[in-house]
Amino acid sequence: MRFDNTNAILTIFLQGRIDSNNAANVETEIMDIINGNDHTSLVLDMEELEYISSAGLRIILKLKKLDKTLKLINVTSEVYEIFDMTGFTEMMEIAKAYKKISIEGCEVIGQGANGKVYRINGDTIVKVYASPDCLDDIKRERALAKKAFVLGIPTAISYDIAKIGDTYGTVFELLDAQSIAKLLAENPDKIDEYVDIYVDLLKKIHSTKVKDEDMVDMRQTAINWATFDAEYLPKEIGDKLIALVKAVPRSDYMLHGDYHIKNVMMQNGEALLIDMDTLCVGDPIFELGSMFNAYEGFSSMDESVSLAFLGIPHDLSVLFWHKTLKKYLGTEDEAVLADVDKKARILGFMRLLRRLVRRGGLEDSKKKKEVDFFVEQLTKLVPQVDDLKI
């Protein structure tokens, strides 16, 4: 029986079958390994275990009584079902094995703050997280997506978690779905039709009240961003920026947090929202600030970013943003549109300044030019507004 004892984590690898014919020998061998290795936690890796009978389950119970740290990992679907049916999943930590998926050569159809969405085949897409330490984030996003779905937001629901290289992803069934970004790139003449669909879904999100506190309060997050940025801005600008954000009233209405055309999929004429890890609550102005970044902010210094990020030219990206504002606000009044656009820019540039500084923007000469640009923009725009109301 193989085992590994690294950093006092004793992992024993089980394989084959455990039944009444070999349970006594298996138990003896496990106990010999445990008694011969000092450890602070015990793990049974069941990736190669094909079957476990009631005799094997009794061994697990004994081990749990002897060592409260015991957890089971890489449990196959067949064996996991046995643990689930017998109540073991409620008694101890048991983690299923994740099927392996390759994304080599797959089309990127979506992109968010924490990962990319790939189409695996005509029926299946997978969101791959950038960080390998992401299982808790995946579970949180799946819970948020479920909550949004229950509240009436049309969203894709993940039915599985998969291993992709060194990281993990969530798997969705989306038959022949395409992002609005791809549809717009192929049919730019239909921009008004896509804006209507896009804004209708956005309004549905923003009119959905969340009854509990499971979602992040975007107002508090934005206050934290403004406070961070104030250190890199002229004092009067930094102080006013913080005051502007603090003056935005708290809201219990839903925001997506990363709402752009790669995160809205069309399936059989219905718009579906994906990439739900940024779901939060707050005033819509915070959403508009994030949206401004997707269409203009990210490409402020390099217009080619629009094509790389959204798959559409910069001029089409800017046009989509301004048509979206008109549709969302329900006005053609240029003064009103310019005012809201200015407020969205403030929040967008605020977010980009913090992001860049945290990523070494002050140490790199090229990034420093971007930092200076965002500081310049905020210094110019902040004095021009008295509030961040829409």
- CATH code, residues 107-173: 3.30.200.20
pTM of the predicted model as reported, rounded to 2 decimal places = 0.79
Both tokens of 10, joined, read 């004793």
Listed by start position, the domains of the chain span 3-96, 107-173, 178-384
Radius of gyration of the chain (CA): 26
Q: pLDDT tens-digit profile of 33-75?
A: 999 999 999 999 999 999 999 999 999 999 999 999 999 999 9
- pLDDT over threshold 80, residue 212: no
Kindly give, in sequence order, each residue whose CB lies less than 8 Å from that of residue 259, ignoring residues fewer than 6 positions away: 202, 205, 287, 290, 291, 294
107-173 has the same fold as 3-96: no
Reported as a single tens digit per residue, the pLDDT across 287-325 is: 999 999 999 999 999 999 999 999 999 999 999 999 999
Q: How does pLDDT run across 3-19, given as a tens digit for each residue?
A: 999 999 999 999 999 99
**In this structure, CATH architecture of domain 178-384:** Alpha-Beta Complex (3.90)
Q: Which fold has domain 3-96?
A: Transcription Regulator spoIIAA (3.30.750)
Sheet strands side by side (includes 280-281): 216-217, 280-281, 254-255
